[in-house]
Amino acid sequence: MSRLSRATLGGRGPRDSVFTRGPAEVYRGDAQGYKCPVDLEECVAALEDCCEELHEVGSLLRQGTQDLPRMTKILENQLVFTLAPSSTLEKYKADLIDEVEPAIIELVEKAEAGLQALQKKERALETKLEAAQNRPAVTSQTTAGQKLEQRRLVALTKQRERLENELKELEREIAVLVSFRILLDVCPLLRGSRNALRWNHN
């Protein structure tokens, strides 16, 4: 056994290390002995704020969703079928016809009148165009009057194209109006068949 070991065993005091030690370390939990850095304090404060905000968000979410099962049941879609008597359907049909039919008839009359006027203009332009195309060239040099006539012919041609486009638009509108009128004529038949089916079902 070495001399140091014998000295340690023979003494009554605690055993010390044979190595030299530096100054005693300060306990980190002691607030007076250790000061927390400012940046770390700010981080801790920010983390506490985030935790508080998260707690408030959780509370709001809990308050907003705790009634979800009841609201889901309330807002559940339900299909409800109501049977109406034939007299009510006939009354609504008559009211609809009285309200819509005069306007449709007026629009159809205006469309027909506009179509006739466009057809007259078209025939007149076609006649002028044919006359201009069949006119023989007298001289190779064009006079001022001929140039004016050519410009007028070009303008008439452009006007004809524009009128043709307007005519097509009117024809489309007339087709839509006619389809709508046919639909109004068919609706009573469809409603009558529907009422018959409901009557048979009852």
**Given pLDDT bands bounded at 50, 70 and 90, which one contains residue 189?**
low
DSSP string, 41-69: HHHHHHHHHHHHHHHHHHHHHHHHHTTHH
Alpha carbon separation from 78 to 13, 52, 74, 174 (Å, rounded): 90, 43, 10, 42
The residue type at 22: G
Determine the 3-state secondary structure of 180 from DSSP.
helix
Residues present in the chain in total: 202
Give tens-digit pLDDT for 9-37: 444 555 555 555 555 555 555 555 556 78
Domains of the chain, each with CATH number or no CATH: 86-133+151-201 (1.10.287)
Cα 83 from chain centre: 35
Alpha carbon separation from 84 to 88, 89, 92, 103, 200 (Å, rounded): 7, 7, 11, 28, 14
Please report how the helices 86-134 and 144-201 are oriented relative to each other, as an axis angle in degrees rounded to 10: 160
Please state, in angstroms and rounded to a whole number, the distance separating the CA atoms of residues 162 and 171: 14
Give tens-digit pLDDT for 131-142: 877 775 544 455
Does this model's pTM top 0.75?
Answer: no
Give tens-digit pLDDT for 56-108: 999 998 888 888 888 888 778 777 777 888 888 888 888 888 888 888 888 88
